[in-house]
Amino acid sequence: MRNPFRTTIGQFSSAGGRAQPRAANVRAVEPAADLSGAERGNLYMLVEVSGSGGGHAALYRQLLNAAQTAFYEAEGTLPSALVRAVRSAHSALRRANEELSEADWRAGITCAVLHGEELTIAQAGPALILVAHPKTVDMFPDGPEDFTPPLGGEERPDVQLLRTPIEPGSTILIAQSAWLERVAPDRLASATTLDNAGQIVDYLVQLAGDLELSALVVTLTSALPEVHDIPANPALTSAPKAPVTSTRPPATAAPAAGRSEASARGGGRPRPAPPAEPSAPPAGTGLAASAVEAAGGARRWTPPSAAVATKRAQTPEAPGGAEDEALVEEEDAPRRSVWPLILALVVIPVLIVLLVLAMLWWRGQANEKTFQSYLQGANTAISEAQGLPDEAAARLRLAAARDYLDRASGMRSNDPALAAAQGKYDEIMDRLNKVTPLYGVISLYQFKGTEHKLDRVVSNGIDLFVLDRGAQVVDHFALSATGDSVTPYPNYVVISKTQQLKDGVVGDLVDIAWAEAAVTNQHSQLLTLDASVGLVGYDSRLGAARVPVTGREQWSYPELITSYNGNLYIADTKANQLWRYRPSDNGYENAPEPYFAKGKEVDLTGLRSLAIDGNVWLLFADGRLLKFFAGEAQSFELNGLPDKLRSPAAVVVSREGDQLYIADGANGRILEFSKDGKFQRQFRAAEPTAFKDLRSLYLDEGTRLFYILAGDQLYKADLPQAAQ
């Protein structure tokens, strides 16, 4: 459906007398015609949240996202999709309350959909919307007594649905219900009659004063070009019978000279300038509230009619009348002094400059006051959190501090006092989240170029090997005697795709592992899983050669390999099997043994890492860590993690101790757990960007070192002593 309107959007949030150009709790969705869901129409939303918890900005995003997704993905009629949107926001708030029960959040929501020439409105909880038509202004609901129970509680939300026609010149104002505590309804109705969204927002800012309020404004004009009929004889055009004056202050305002009859009588309403003193009720606005269309609890204002026109418009004058006499009188008048003109040309610009400077000074003072109030709020919440013994209560106060810090940062991000408060906040959060900084992090090597995709690092205690899936090579490095650098071997690319071996050509490189010798004729070597020849071995004495391996016809999609007690394990994610190979004199010529019994295979979709210490540990991309022993699943769960894993990259386990470690790639950290799943601490580099895009982790227990691949760099880090 072609949208018959051109819309202009305005939004703001006001706090401490200072207006922000955006509001976190509103959203306007106007999908392009070629996008999926565009046939639903434009969606405009405002959510208001109350409760003891802070962090409302993040909560607003969750609720708005939930409502938007549900609306555009729901099937059925438009009203049913709106009901689904409101209930989806309610469910999201219920989940937030379950995660942080101390907050006990409640919310109200208004969703308005512009579809064709009709506006459909859905409301639940405290909510407010005004719709200005060219001659009337409607408000839904009629007042606080008509609010339904809020979202977020045990009770399913009662969704109120209303419809109203829309035409060019209409204005939609969606606001918090708290506006009704500050501003009389007729003042809000007056705001909707201003000329454009910018003027409406400016007027609302004045009405809001020093309260924390927000609103979303949508003005509508015709999307089609206007066609004006020009009469052959303008003198024959009749004057308007009952032109309509604006319903907003000031009361005594005449239309602009030259305004045509079509404009005064047709779709548009006259729009005089906004009031200069919004805090006082405008005299003679002519706004009288009368209850009409009681369905939905709406209130309507109807402006009075008034004949306002210039004398020239009412009585056209013949040429050479009073105008000529005025010209003669002006010519005969004595010459006036030019000093008033000179004074005006000098004094008025100076006064304007002084006025602008005064306004800037006043605004600066107001901004400073607001900034200091946010900073004080953050420091107070941080101090309270610091003294709380209960972790849940401390996190609740820090959520409020985070909200204040975000607001202050939006006003002045580089303020030293703000940086100090942020430092205190980070210090307490690190303590609650059990963060241990890694100060002994050393960058051993940086890979140049853009073709690299570093995937795995392994060590044999002396040498380091890096699988580069982007360049399709395995690089060989020697660790220096001091351990603070590495040196690439002269021929440091030891295995590469298309490399010619004695009995085959190397194909795609998939994974690497270090395998210790387990039988008499076998030697320790690096093993590379190759999509073409199966296994390629390498040691510094013999170079690269194919390693015999049987049973390859049973493989479907091998992705990971590791070695434990001389046995080789290959994770086949398509066959949902872990193949175990016992070593032979020449390689792995014994038939593969399925680790999982028939009928007990494990879905390995999304497997990211494999580790063995007698138990088999499987880490998945969604953050699950599964534990198996002798092919049987063991009861295991990660507990106490302060926040969710994002893009887990690797799991390593100590063979002597009780620790296991997970590399959390997107969060740039290493998490330590006990082997019964209890979270103990997390390691972060002292330099915040050091572990950005963490991809691989190798634990050398003998030297208590981590080897880490992150981004395009190879790092070494000392492993801190075990947590007590």
Q: How confident is the model at residue 336 (pLDDT cuts 50, 70, 90)?
A: low
289-290 and 18-20 as β-strands: parallel, antiparallel, unpaired?
unpaired
pLDDT tens by residue, 522-549: 788 999 999 887 899 998 888 899 999 9
Evaluate whether residue 99 is within a structural domain.
Answer: yes
pLDDT at 354: 85
| Same-domain pairing of 422 and 454 | no
| Same-domain pairing of 559 and 641 | yes
| Same-domain pairing of 551 and 587 | yes
Domain termination site, one of 432, 450, 481: 432
pLDDT tens by residue, 440-487: 899 999 998 878 899 999 998 888 999 999 999 999 998 888 878 888
CATH (domain of 450): 2.120.10.30
Range of 525's domain?
Answer: 438-718
| Same-domain pairing of 215 and 356 | no
Average of per-residue pLDDT across 281-303: 43
**CA triple 223-229-230, angle to 5 deg:** 135
Evaluate whether residue 232 is within a structural domain.
Answer: no
pLDDT tens by residue, 394-433: 888 898 898 899 889 888 888 999 999 999 999 999 999 9
In this structure, the number of other CB atoms found within 10 A of the CB of residue 636 comes to 16
**CA triple 491-469-589, angle to 5 deg:** 80
Buried b or exposed e, range 272-293, using 16+ CB within 10 angstroms: bebbeebeeebeebbbebeeee
CATH (domain of 148): 3.60.40.10
Q: Per the structure, how many domains does the chain have? A: 3
Evaluate whether residue 319 is within a structural domain.
Answer: no
CA dihedral 581, 661, 636, 666 (to 10 degrees): -110
| Same-domain pairing of 413 and 455 | no
Buried b or exposed e, range 510-519, using 16+ CB within 10 angstroms: bbbbbbeeee
Q: How confident is the model at residue 34 (pLDDT cuts 50, 70, 90)?
A: confident
| Same-domain pairing of 150 and 295 | yes
Specify whether the CB–CB gap between 388 and 432 falls below 8 A: no
| Same-domain pairing of 60 and 171 | yes
pLDDT tens by residue, 618-653: 999 999 999 999 999 999 999 998 888 988 999 999
Specify whether the CB–CB gap between 495 and 487 falls below 8 A: no
pLDDT tens by residue, 360-394: 888 778 888 888 999 999 999 999 998 888 888 88
pLDDT at 292: 32
Evaluate whether residue 355 is within a structural domain.
Answer: yes
Specify whether the CB–CB gap between 141 and 129 falls below 8 A: no
Evaluate whether residue 230 is within a structural domain.
Answer: no
Residues with Cβ within 8 Å of residue 609, at least 6 apart in sequence: 560, 618, 619, 648, 649, 650, 651
pLDDT at 342: 67
Evaluate whether residue 554 is within a structural domain.
Answer: yes
Higher pLDDT, 591 or 337: 591
